[in-house]
Amino acid sequence: MTLLSVENVSKSFAGVRVLRDVSFDVRPGEVLGLVGENGAGKSTVLSLITGLLAPDAGTVRFDGARVHSGIRAWSPHRARAAGIASVHQELSLNPHQSVAENVFLGAWPTRGGLVRHRDLVARARPLLSRVGLDVDPLTRAGRLPLGAQQLVELAKALTGDPRLLILDEATSALDDDQVRAVFRVVDELRAAGKSVVIVTHRMGELFAVSDRMTVLKDGEVVATRERAATDHDDLVKLMVGRELSDMFPPKSKDTAAVPAEPVLTVRGLAVPGSCAGIDLDLVPGRVIGLGGLQGQGQREVLRALFGLRRHSGQIDMDGRPCRLATPREAIRRGIGYVPEDRKTEGLHIAHSVRANLSLPSLRALAPARSLTTVSRRQEARLVAGLVDSMRIKASSPAQEVRRLSGGNQQKVALAKWLPTKPRVLLLAEPTRGIDVGTKRQIYHHLRELADSGMAVLVTSGDTMELVGLCDEVAVMYEGSIVDRLVGAELTEERLVHASVVGQEVTHV
Amino acid sequence: MSERIRNHMDVLGLCALLAVVLVTYQRLDPTLLSPSTITILSAQFLPLILAAVAQTIVMLTGGVDLSLGPVLSLGMAVFVVTAADGATGVLAAMALALAVTVAAGAANGALVAYAGLPPIIVTLAASFLWTGVTLIVLPQPGGHVPAGLVSAYNLGWYGIALPALAVVVALALWKLVRTTRFGLALYAVGGNEHGAYASGIDTRRVKILAYGFAGLFTGLAGIGLAIQTGSGDPNIGAPYTLNSIAVAVLGGISFFGGVGRMRATLLGALLLGLLTNLLLFTGISTFYQLILQGVVLVVAVAVKTLATRERTA
């Protein structure tokens, strides 16, 4: 007997297969853990169940009925009505409305057509206490700390008395007490014959609540195991272990030797609310990675170093203290930044390839001390050189960047810094959403840039990428660096272990 | 601080400012609180108050209504062209005028919700369209408003200030709407549209209803203006577009949607109206009035922005 069954489901985005023949099922009164690395397809599979997406092939059955067939499309609204509730990492709360209003968001109880606040408050109280939240229901949701907001989401999911609860990284912002409250709710649901699907990167949590675990890798189900029949190491092995082949260029040779003088020394860098106590030495010729689960503060480290986030701590360039308060200062000191969100921060997507590539170099392109107009001829020469050396595929330099493929967009976002001869290059998720061939090209470019004397700092949620590309990886967990992996220590197993286990590893 | 007290913080500053203006006003015009002055002032302020209510509803969805002035003129034109003497004649003309303005609002809403067009573009286009339509309905100032209605409205009716009563009824109506599921959904959509959608709210319907209600209040403003002036004018609505935005902003309604309360808009409208009158008393030229109005707006918003920034930091 099953409550939910996913049968041979496949799904592609823009020609890229993200799910291939995925099958698993959830029984009544069961808690199923869904595990896998970032990008393994967990969120996509959950979106099929909650009605945010439809599969290309295969079927999803809930309570025996096919959900993606029939006249009316499966939607969040219908899924909720059928008894499927979900809590996601991204919040769906309205920060400006009260906690009570948010708990019943979209399903406010009325009397005589009117919503009585007294009713809302009275009915929200038991739900809030069920999730272990002691707040005034009239508090505006946006005023609560992130963890409390996530518990409000959980209370909201419980309003319809769901038969299937989906927890997608729902505990990522919670402290230990709050996680225990969530698990208490999960246990209650299980005891009442309801089912739960839980996605979490924290292994400890997974083993604490799941009855079975299904492992996804690269969009396929690798295995489904009973809790008693598996352990941490077994799961990690199932999650990783791909062929590296010639995807990555050889690493810098002097890894073991005495490293060169660092160009940028970071001591005790802190961004309020995101990270603290970050020490980094960026050395010419080396590619350093910042690893860990998503959202452990890696992004903020890069943004701070590029002057986009207010920060504290000691930053020295060539041994002399320097201030990096604005991107302008950072660029003047020879720092380039290829952001995670290339469409808003990295590029002007409605502008031409030419305009994007020449933007950081306008100062150089404007003939000295004359009327500071940009020399079109020099600009064309610069752009042609970059298009050629980076192998950017564009119909012409006048083509709008938004018409390029994701990989070529990323090449433009990277190439634009090169004429400014940066000494430090910061890259966030440099290959996200990019096809394998272009990924390989970007890895080789980055290594060439490092070999030419640049210091490179990369964040990535892709463990294989960090292991294959970097000379050294600092693993972040909840805003701190918990482990540094160099040389033979730099393996996927070690990296994944440090990422999910976090602080424990330093105490061993 | 308790949430119950914090909930009223938003209007404290406005109330204080309003008190200062009222006291000064009372000094210059001791008849301020007499029934006849209240009647005159409320007749004068009613169109702005109702226009600002309409603008606030649209702004709460995260939009802005640039067609408000022209739709106000349209409502006024339809009313004065069709109004006949006698209660039925007047009520029929009101109903027709309101039907037209509600439809104009809902059309904006449908274009925003279903075609996914930016509100600023949709309502800009609508502003030209309805200006033209209004000129067809009423090519030049004129039209007919029953004289008895005009005098009862402007001079008081058995001692009752009808315009003030109309404002109170309109705001009570809004208070009721605000307490329905639609009212809460309006704030939910404005505050986090995707979250509202993912929670099963029909966000399109909410937007169309919101713009429709805005049309209703805009039409009421137009009718009020017609009765106050005793005739129709196809171009009289134009300044109300920007004035209504100014009042809503003064009342702390966010341009990003989902933040702000109607009572603050009401206070903002009273403040702006009284301030303008006050400057008339002092005999300062209207040029300086406009300059002062701009300064007041920027200072008010700046103070609020700085105060909020401090709290979140």
A47-76 residues touching B, CB cutoff 8 A: 52, 76
What is the domain extent for residue A318? 253-334+422-507
pLDDT of residue B34: 86
Mean pLDDT of chain A: 87
pLDDT of residue A72: 66
SS3 A199: strand
R_g over Cα of chain B = 19
- Domain assignment present for residue B157? The answer is yes
Of the two residues B218 and A368, the one the predictor is more confident about is B218
Please, are residues A92 and B187 in contact by the beta-carbon 8 Å criterion? Answer: no
Tokens of A426: 């910061």
Of the two residues A124 and A366, the one the predictor is more confident about is A124
- Domain assignment present for residue A48? The answer is yes
SS3 A224: strand
With bands split at pLDDT 50, 70 and 90, how would you rate the model's confidence at A301?
very high
pLDDT of residue B301: 80
SS3 A65: strand
- Domain assignment present for residue B165? The answer is yes
Instruction: Report whether pLDDT(B93) > 70.
Output: yes
Of the two residues A204 and B191, the one the predictor is more confident about is B191
Q: What is the mean pLDDT of the segment spanning A246-273?
A: 79
A97-156 residues touching B, CB cutoff 8 A: 97-98, 101, 105-108, 110, 113-116, 136, 138-140, 156
Of the two residues A201 and A475, the one the predictor is more confident about is A475
With bands split at pLDDT 50, 70 and 90, how would you rate the model's confidence at A126?
very high
Instruction: Report whether pLDDT(A417) > 60.
Output: yes
Of B180, B190, B195, the CB nearest to A92: B195
Say whether residue B311 is in contact with chain A using an 8 A CB cutoff: no
CB atoms within 10 A of CB B170: 19
* Size (chain A), residues: 508
| Residues of chain A contacting residue B198, judged by C-beta atoms under 8 Å apart | 52, 76, 92
Q: Which residues sit opposite B160 in a β-bridge?
A: B157
Please, are residues B59 and B257 in contact by the beta-carbon 8 Å criterion? Answer: yes
Q: Are residues A119 and A130 in the same domain?
A: yes
- Domain assignment present for residue A310? The answer is yes
CB-CB under 8 Å, A107 with B258: no
Please state the domain count of chain A: 3
Residue B305 to residues B1, B16, B257: CA-CA distances in angstroms? 20, 18, 15
Please state the domain count of chain B: 1
pLDDT of residue A425: 96
| Residues of chain A contacting residue B4, judged by C-beta atoms under 8 Å apart | 138
Q: Are residues A307 and A393 in the same domain?
A: no
- Where are the strands (E) in chain B, listed by range? none
* Cα angle: B179, vertex B182, B188; to 5 degrees: 95
Lowest mean pLDDT among B10-24, B83-97, B256-270: B10-24
With bands split at pLDDT 50, 70 and 90, how would you rate the model's confidence at A505?
very low
- Domain assignment present for residue B209? The answer is yes
- Domain assignment present for residue A290? The answer is yes
pLDDT of residue B285: 82
Mark which of A217, A239, A261 sits at the end of a domain. Answer: A239
A180-238 residue pLDDT tens = 899 999 999 999 999 999 988 777 788 889 999 999 888 889 889 998 888 877 887 78
Residue B111 to residues B59, B207, B229: CA-CA distances in angstroms? 16, 10, 34
pLDDT of residue B11: 81
Q: Are residues A216 and A362 in the same domain?
A: no
Distance in angstroms (rounded) separating the CA atoms of residues A453 and A466: 20
What is the domain extent for residue B145? 36-304
CB-CB under 8 Å, B197 with A138: no
Distance in angstroms (rounded) separating the CA atoms of residues A171 and A295: 13
Tokens of A336: 């380039």
- Domain assignment present for residue B23? The answer is no
pLDDT of residue B194: 84
With bands split at pLDDT 50, 70 and 90, how would you rate the model's confidence at A31?
very high
Mark which of A204, A239, A274 sits at the end of a domain. Answer: A239
Lowest mean pLDDT among B41-50, B136-145, B271-280: B271-280
Nearest to A336 by CA among A368, A359, A314: A359
Percent of chain A whose pLDDT exceeds 90: 46
Indicate which of A93, A94, A149 best probes the interface with B, i.e. most B CBs within 10 Å of its own CB: A94
Mark which of A185, A212, A239 sits at the end of a domain. Answer: A239
Q: What is the mean pLDDT of the segment spanning B10-34?
A: 86
Residues 6+ positions from A462 with CB-CB distance below 8 Å: A37, A38, A39, A431, A432
CB-CB under 8 Å, A95 with B184: no
Left (φ > 0), alpha (ψ -120 to 50) or beta: where does A51 sit? left
Owner of token pair 């002092």 = B282
Tokens of B82: 């069709």
- Domain assignment present for residue A244? The answer is no
Rounded to 5 degrees, φ, ψ at A175 are -90, 175
Mean pLDDT of chain B: 90
- Domain assignment present for residue A344? The answer is no
A139-161 residue pLDDT tens = 999 888 888 999 999 999 999 88
Nearest to A412 by CA among A343, A470, A327: A343
Q: Distance, in angstroms, between B165 CA and closest chain A CA?
A: 24
Tokens of A185: 């709710």
pLDDT of residue B50: 97
pLDDT of residue B208: 97
Q: Are residues A70 and A101 in the same domain?
A: yes
Tokens of B208: 């169309």
pLDDT of residue A4: 92
pLDDT of residue A24: 93
Q: What is the mean pLDDT of the segment spanning A161-175?
A: 87
The predicted model scores a pTM of 0.77
Q: Are residues A88 and A220 in the same domain?
A: yes
Q: What is the mean pLDDT of the segment spanning B50-74?
A: 97
Q: What is the mean pLDDT of the segment spanning A86-104?
A: 87
pLDDT of residue A37: 73
A312-363 residue pLDDT tens = 999 999 989 998 999 989 998 999 999 988 888 889 888 999 999 998 888 7
Instruction: Report whether pLDDT(A15) > 80.
Output: no
pLDDT of residue A502: 66
CB-CB under 8 Å, A115 with B7: no
pLDDT of residue B312: 40
Say whether residue B69 is in contact with chain A using an 8 A CB cutoff: no
pLDDT of residue B276: 85
Nearest to A405 by CA among A380, A438, A363, A377: A438
pLDDT of residue A100: 94
Work out whether strand A287-291 and strand A275-282 pair parallel, antiparallel, or are unpaired: unpaired
Q: In CATH, what number is assigned to the domain containing residue A489?
A: 3.40.50.300
- Domain assignment present for residue A247? The answer is no
Q: Are residues A198 and A284 in the same domain?
A: no
Residue A188 to residues A278, A351, B86: CA-CA distances in angstroms? 41, 55, 68
B189-228 residues touching A, CB cutoff 8 A: 190-192, 194-201
pLDDT of residue A375: 79
Please, are residues A4 and A60 in contact by the beta-carbon 8 Å criterion? Answer: yes
Q: Are residues A229 and A358 in the same domain?
A: no
pLDDT of residue B115: 92
SS3 A422: coil
Owner of token pair 């329905």 = B180
| Residues of chain A contacting residue B260, judged by C-beta atoms under 8 Å apart | none
SS3 B233: coil
- Domain assignment present for residue A346? The answer is no
Of the two residues A49 and B297, the one the predictor is more confident about is A49
- Domain assignment present for residue B17? The answer is no
Percent of chain B whose pLDDT exceeds 70: 96
Owner of token pair 């802005």 = B64
With bands split at pLDDT 50, 70 and 90, how would you rate the model's confidence at B308?
low
CA quadruple A418, A419, A424, A427: dihedral sign? negative
pLDDT of residue B199: 80
Distance in angstroms (rounded) separating the CA atoms of residues B105 and B228: 24
pLDDT of residue B304: 75
Q: Are residues A395 and A445 in the same domain?
A: no
pLDDT of residue A507: 39
CB-CB under 8 Å, B7 with A76: no
Pure H helices in A23-170: 42-50, 76-82, 99-103, 117-130, 146-158
Of B180, B181, B258, the CB nearest to A96: B258
pLDDT of residue A259: 60
Q: In what order do the strands lie in the sheet with A212-217?
A: A84-87, A164-168, A195-199, A31-35, A212-217, A220-226
A62-83 residue pLDDT tens = 988 888 776 667 888 888 888 9
Percent of chain A whose pLDDT exceeds 70: 93
Q: In CATH, what number is assigned to the domain containing residue B120?
A: 1.10.3470
Of A52, A114, A136, the CB nearest to B180: A114
* Cα angle: A19, vertex A24, A28; to 5 degrees: 140
Q: Are residues A36 and A125 in the same domain?
A: yes
CB-CB under 8 Å, A96 with B3: no
Q: Are residues A416 and A433 in the same domain?
A: no
CB-CB under 8 Å, A156 with B199: yes
Which residue of chain B is at minimal alpha-carbon distance from A105? Answer: B199
- Domain assignment present for residue B185? The answer is yes
- Domain assignment present for residue B160? The answer is yes
Q: Are residues A129 and A204 in the same domain?
A: yes
- Domain assignment present for residue A180? The answer is yes
Instruction: Report whether pLDDT(B310) > 70.
Output: no
- Domain assignment present for residue B84? The answer is yes
Q: Which burial class, exposed, middle or buried, applies to A345 when counting CB atoms under 10 A from its CB (0-12, 13-18, 19+)?
A: middle
Highest mean pLDDT among A42-51, A368-377, B123-132, B190-199: B123-132
The DSSP element (H or E) to which A269 belongs, if any, is strand A264-271
